[in-house]
A = this chain, B = another copy of it.
Amino acid sequence: MDFRIATRADVPAVLDLLADDEITRQRGFGTVPEQVDAATWAAFEAIDADDRNELIVAVHDQEIVGTCQLTFIPGLSRGGAERLLIEAVRIRADQRGRGLGGDLIRWTVERARERGCRIVQLTTDKRRTDAHRFYAKLGFTASHEGFKLAL
């Protein structure tokens, strides 16, 4: 298993992973269009050009089997250290239950530590009870309520 920053060529596979999720579908993410649209390419370019955003892919046998997005956020608390926000974590359905997700999150936590972050945070839908156990096992504490407002 290899973890690395996504390239432009990885974007369709990442979109497939994002769409392959029941809760995301309920939210209306919908099916992946045949062609990636201009706004999605622009978002990839924005992430790619930004030192504080990283789209990560997990690669196995030359296939993209997992992804997440990292955002490193500067702040005045905690002695000026950055915090890492993890978003959009996905493991391909046929690869779940093999420890790959744990490897991916541990890799991101190590990346945050090396960069000097003092905290790593994420939110996960309250219906994802498997995910809650997964993050607790990795040492995370469910100390916060996660509020969302769709615009």
Contacts and interface: CB of A to CB of B under 8 A. Distances in A.
Interface of A: 11, 14-15, 18, 24, 29, 37, 39-44, 46-47, 50, 52-53, 55, 69, 71, 73-83, 85, 87-88, 109, 112-113, 117-126, 132, 135-136, 138-151
A144 B120 contact: no
Nearest to A67: B76
A122 B147 contact: yes
B50 A75 contact: no
Copy number in the complex reads: 2
Given A24-B77, A46-B74, A126 B150 contact: no
Which 3 residue pairs are nearest across A and B when measured between Cβ atoms?
Answer: A144-B146, A43-B80, A39-B80
A142 B146 contact: yes
A69 B151 CA distance: 19
A73 B88 contact: no
Contacts of A40: 76, 79-80
Residue from A82, A117, A139, A143 having most chain B Cβ neighbours under 10 A: A143
B121 A144 contact: no
B124 A76 contact: no
Given A43-B75, A121-B147, 16 more contacts: A18-B77, A39-B80, A40-B76, A50-B52, A53-B74, A77-B88, A117-B151, A118-B150, A120-B148, A122-B147, A125-B143, A125-B144, A136-B147, A139-B149, A143-B148, A144-B147
